[in-house]
Every structure is written in structure tokens, then in C-alpha cells.
């Protein structure tokens, strides 16, 4: 695997374990949704102190989640057309 791909996998693994992206040793959260201001192990600053610092990340997350939901909905509708309501309900086939 390319070094860049390995680094991305390592970063993803550290993110899943809520560890520091630089050293991998320190926990970056106090609890699930409360971020520490800095890594307790290496001192990497995690919070810049700006109130809107996470706005772009939240916007990206919202757009990605809504896009996935819309794609799933359209896929189900296309696959079950012409009677998506009858297919998705209790399993009974509806007849016109």
C-alpha cells in the first residue's frame, strides 16, 4: 500500500478510537462530544478558540448525510416502481 494510503488508514483508525491525529496516544475527547483544547500527550492544539471553527465540517457532514439519504430514497423508489407504497408497507401487494 502506498505511504499516503497507509497514512490515511492510520488517521481513520485513530479517529475511530478518538485518539490524537498526530501522536495517536492521547484521547482528544473528554466525552463523546466534548473535545479537549489540546492533546494531553503531545500538546497538539485541537480547538482554535473560534466559535465558527467547526461550521464547515458540520455543513459538509449535513450535506453528505442528506445526499446519502436522498440517493437511498431515490434508489428505493426506482427499484420498487410502479408501486413503491405497496412494496414498502406490510408486504401485502396492493392492487389497483
Q: Which residue, 23 or 86, has its beta carbon nearer to Zn ion? A: 23
Pairing label, strands 29-31, 34-35? antiparallel
No. of H helices and E strands in the chain? 3, 2
Shortest CB 11 distance to Zn ion, Å: 12
Q: Which residue, 41 or 87, has its beta carbon nearer to Zn ion? A: 41
Q: Is 48 left (phi over 0), alpha (psi -120 to 50) or beta?
A: alpha
Q: Which residue, 44 or 84, has its beta carbon nearer to Zn ion? A: 44
Which positions touch Zn ion (CB under 5 A)? Answer: 20, 22-23, 26, 39, 41-42, 44
Amino acid at each position: 500500500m502506498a505511504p499516503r494510503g497507509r497514512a490515511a488508514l492510520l488517521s481513520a483508525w485513530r479517529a475511530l478510537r478518538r485518539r490524537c491525529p498526530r501522536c495517536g496516544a492521547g484521547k482528544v475527547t473528554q466525552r463523546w462530544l466534548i473535545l479537549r483544547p489540546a492533546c494531553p500527550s503531545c500538546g497538539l492544539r485541537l480547538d482554535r478558540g473560534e466559535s465558527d471553527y467547526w461550521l464547515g465540517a458540520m455543513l459538509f457532514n449535513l450535506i453528505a448525510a442528506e445526499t446519502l439519504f436522498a440517493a437511498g430514497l431515490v434508489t428505493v423508489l426506482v427499484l420498487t416502481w410502479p408501486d413503491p407504497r405497496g412494496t414498502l408497507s406490510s408486504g401485502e401487494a396492493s392492487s389497483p
